[in-house]
Amino acid sequence: IPSLSCIEISSRTIFSWVLGKGQIRVYCIDFGLAKKYRDTSTHQHIPYRENKNLTGTARYASVNTHLGIEQSRRDDMESLGYVLMYFLRGSLPWQGLKAGNKKQKYEKISERKIATSTEALCRGYPTEFASYFHYCRSLRFEDTPDYQYLKRLFRDLFIREGFQFDYVFDWTILKYQQSQMTSAPPRAMAAAAGQSSGMAPMANRQ
């Protein structure tokens, strides 16, 4: 994922995703809540601070962000991990919590997120996802993440599972299937409805 390069920007929210030319590469856009992690004049890392307000989407915020600690590159990577698990699971354990106001909801999300172990979050999925979180959470505030190591984790998993790059995304297939359903005659729609509604992951198509 090109976003792993981080280009000296610390994200504070989940990015918007768009497809590039040819629709074979996904780009992250909309850096409205982003900030540079190094001073543009001195090139020094921004200072460690506490008692910071949560900025961005609480669902994907790192644990340190919930604790009021200034965000840095390590938090970007942890947030990306939550996005990946959201894609895999369909939801995260701290979604759907009820609260009287936003502050209380943030507190509940923080408590549930802290209480959810990496093993519990990643249970049933390849160990690379747990390894990813353990690595990200081991980083210190100013540490430079080993992006090559993180990319290699998933690249090796991809190869081990026998997946192939076909440049066809799951949502493209889903959109096509939906368009076929809406344009198909009633008999064809009934036949399709009798089939399994589950869609095989993109990478399984060889």
CATH of the domain at 101: 1.10.510.10
- Mind listing the pLDDT tens digit for each residue in 118-135? 999 999 999 999 999 999
Q: Is the pLDDT of residue 193 over 60?
A: no
> Are 146 and 183 found together in one domain?
no
What is the band of 6 on the pLDDT scale with cuts at 50, 70, 90? very low
Residue 141: CB atoms within 10 A of its CB come to: 18
The answer to the question of residue 198 being in a domain is: yes
Distance (Å, whole) CA 14 – CA 64:
16
Q: Is the pLDDT of residue 25 over 50?
A: yes
The neighbouring-strand residues paired with 19 are 26
Report the number of distinct structural domains present in the chain.
2
Tokens found for residue 81: 């991990």
The answer to the question of residue 147 being in a domain is: yes
> Are 58 and 142 found together in one domain?
yes
Q: Is 28 exposed, middle or buried (0-12, 13-18, 19+ CB in 10 A)?
A: middle
Instruction: Considering only residues 184 and 141, tell me which one the structure prediction assigns the higher pLDDT.
Output: 141
> Are 73 and 149 found together in one domain?
yes
> Are 115 and 33 found together in one domain?
yes
What pLDDT was estimated at residue 27?
A: 80
The answer to the question of residue 165 being in a domain is: no
pTM of the predicted model, to two decimals? 0.76
Distance (Å, whole) CA 202 – CA 205:
6
> Are 109 and 9 found together in one domain?
yes
What pLDDT was estimated at residue 121?
A: 98
Residue-range definition of the domain harbouring residue 191 = 170-204
> Are 23 and 108 found together in one domain?
yes
> Are 64 and 120 found together in one domain?
yes
- Mind listing the pLDDT tens digit for each residue in 30-86? 777 888 999 999 999 999 999 999 988 999 999 999 999 999 999 999 999 999 999
What pLDDT was estimated at residue 21?
A: 74
* Strands 9-10, 35-36: pairing kind: antiparallel
> Are 36 and 109 found together in one domain?
yes
The answer to the question of residue 144 being in a domain is: yes
> Are 155 and 175 found together in one domain?
no
> Are 92 and 183 found together in one domain?
no
> Are 91 and 188 found together in one domain?
no
What is the band of 185 on the pLDDT scale with cuts at 50, 70, 90? low
What average pLDDT does range 147-161 have in this prediction?
96
> Are 40 and 17 found together in one domain?
yes
What is the band of 14 on the pLDDT scale with cuts at 50, 70, 90? very low
What pLDDT was estimated at residue 186?
A: 53
What pLDDT was estimated at residue 174?
A: 80
Distance (Å, whole) CA 203 – CA 90:
17
The answer to the question of residue 19 being in a domain is: yes
The answer to the question of residue 113 being in a domain is: yes
What pLDDT was estimated at residue 195?
A: 43
